Amino acid sequence: MDLLPIEIKVNVEGDVEAALSALRGTGGALITRRIWFAEDRAGVAEGRVPLLDGGVIVRFRIGSGPDDLTVKLRPSTREQLIGRFEDPFDATPFTYRIEEDWSADRRVLAASLVHDHPQGALLGAVQPGDDPAARIDAVQDQFLDVCAPDIRLDGLVALGPILSTKADDVELDDLKVDLEAWRVAGLEFLEVSLRVKPKEGENAEELKARAERKQRRLEEVVKERGVVIADLPESKTRRVLTVLAEAGRP
C-alpha cells in the first residue's frame, strides 16, 4: 500500500487579523472566497448536521478564480475506499486526494473528490430555495455510492456563506505554510497548515516520524511569532456547521 501525504494543521482563535498579519508578514498574495456547506435540510431544522455526523462533507467554494465543489469523506478508512477510488487520481476537471489529516492529537484519514467549475457557475446551487445536490456530478455521486452507501443526498440546504481569506506558500523560517481565515456568524478562525509528502524509499515509520517533527516545528514557529494556538477538540468545519445549523432552525 502506497504511503499517503499528511496534512498538518494548527488552529488560532482570538485576534485573527493580528495573527494573520504576524504570520503572513509581507509574503503570499491573499485570495478571498466564499464557502458554503450542504447539509440535510430536515436535520438543520432540528439544529443537527447529519451529513457531517456521517463523515460526509459537501463544500462549495466561490471566489475570484474558478469555483469548486468538493465531496469529502472524513474520517474515512482505506477499507471503504474501493474500486476507482482506492488510489488518488487527477483527471481534469477532477482531483481525487487521499491523505492523513493531523490536528493536535487528532489524526484521521480523509478522501476528497474535487470538481472544478468555471467562475460563478456554482452560485445557482447555494441560493435560498436551490438544491445543492443538483450540482453533484455523476463521478462524485458514484464516489458516495461506492464508498459511503448509507449516505443519502435528498433534501439538502446550503449553509453559509463563510468568508475565507487565504494565502498559500507563506515562508515561516524553514517551513512553507498555507494560511486560511474563516469568518461567519461571529466566529473567527485562522488555520495554519502544511503538507508532508512521502519521499522515495521512505517507510511508514520514517514518514510518521518526519511528520511529527514537522508538526512540532510548525507549532514552534507559530508560537515564536506571539500567536496563541487554540486547543480545540472539534474541527473548524464542525464548529462552523454546528453554529450555522442552529441559526437555521425555525
73-107 pLDDT, tens per residue? Answer: 999 999 999 999 999 999 999 999 999 999 999 99
Tell me the sheet residues that pair with 176: 171
Mean pLDDT, range 108-117, rounded to an integer: 98
Rg of the Cα atoms in the chain: 18
The pLDDT value recorded for residue 250 is 55
CA distance 243 to 47: 9
157 has a pLDDT exceeding 80: yes
- Give the CA-trace dihedral at 157, 159, 161, 165, to 10 degrees: -130
Determine the 3-state secondary structure of 120 from DSSP: coil
| Assigned C-alpha cell, 168 | 498559500
Determine the 3-state secondary structure of 194 from DSSP: strand
The pLDDT value recorded for residue 35 is 97
Mean pLDDT, range 128-143, rounded to an integer: 94
Better-predicted residue by pLDDT, 177 or 235:
177
182 has a pLDDT exceeding 90: yes
Other Cβ atoms closer than 10 A to 26:
5
As a CATH number, domain 6-247 is: 2.40.320.10
The domain spans of the chain are: 6-247
22 has a pLDDT exceeding 90: yes
CA distance 38 to 58: 5
Mean pLDDT of the chain: 93
